[in-house]
Amino acid sequence: MDGHDTKPKAGQGLSSSLNLPVVEESAADGEVARVYERYRSHFNRDHVPGILKCFATHPPLLRSMMDLAENMLFVDGDLVRRHKEMIATLVSCQNACPYCADSHGYQFRMQGGSAESLCAIQENHLDTVSLTAAERALAQFAEKVNRSSHQVVREDVETLMQAGWSERQIAEAVHIVALFAAFNRVVNAFGVPSQGLLAGYQADASGDGSSSTK
């Protein structure tokens, strides 16, 4: 990725069903095509998700988002993947982002989150017994960062530490909240529709033979 590729030409293979055009896989070339292939290969996916297509309107941003995806967002770090997906789902529901709420709710279930926990997160019932005491504290902190970050104080951090979280984990939680809040706004403004992944997952669980892919 040498950074010398130009942006796609206006109207070149772009979706017309959204608020703003995105770069479809059939129209991708240069650096965008390379990052798309990197995504498909690294995450073993057949297709590039809609949010990545939004970032592809600015190739350097697309490259940076791919680095984040590989090294922070969708891997175990200071926080395990399930807790990152819990936070992403919570933030996306609070920010009324159907695309991200569906995608990360699905991933939360795929990472072992229970149906009861997902329902509680979707309904913002953060005192649910389906989450551990530590998870409830983390979710409540994530809600505060998302809704009123200017009111976060050291006491909030110390409360989380008493619940068993380290400062490094809390710092990563802040980054996850802030990043996914930004992604919510990008997807909503571009007009990317929900993929219906949770519906497919629930259909599979009911044994009707349906399938779902990201």
Question: Domain map of the chain by residue range?
Answer: 25-73, 81-206
Q: What does the pLDDT profile of the chain (214 residues) look like in tens digits?
A: 333 333 333 334 445 458 999 999 999 999 999 999 999 999 999 999 999 999 999 999 999 999 999 999 999 999 999 999 999 999 999 999 999 999 999 999 999 999 999 999 999 999 999 999 999 999 999 999 999 999 999 999 999 999 999 999 999 999 999 999 999 999 999 999 999 999 887 777 666 443 333 3
**Per-residue model confidence (pLDDT) at position 207:** 60
**Per-residue model confidence (pLDDT) at position 167:** 98
**Per-residue model confidence (pLDDT) at position 95:** 98
**Per-residue model confidence (pLDDT) at position 17:** 54
The CATH number of domain 81-206, selected from 3.30.460.10, 1.20.1290.10, 3.40.50.10490, 3.40.50.1980: 1.20.1290.10
**Per-residue model confidence (pLDDT) at position 202:** 75
**Per-residue model confidence (pLDDT) at position 5:** 34
Residues 6+ apart with CB under 8 A from 210: 200, 203, 204
Is the pTM higher than 0.95? The answer reads no
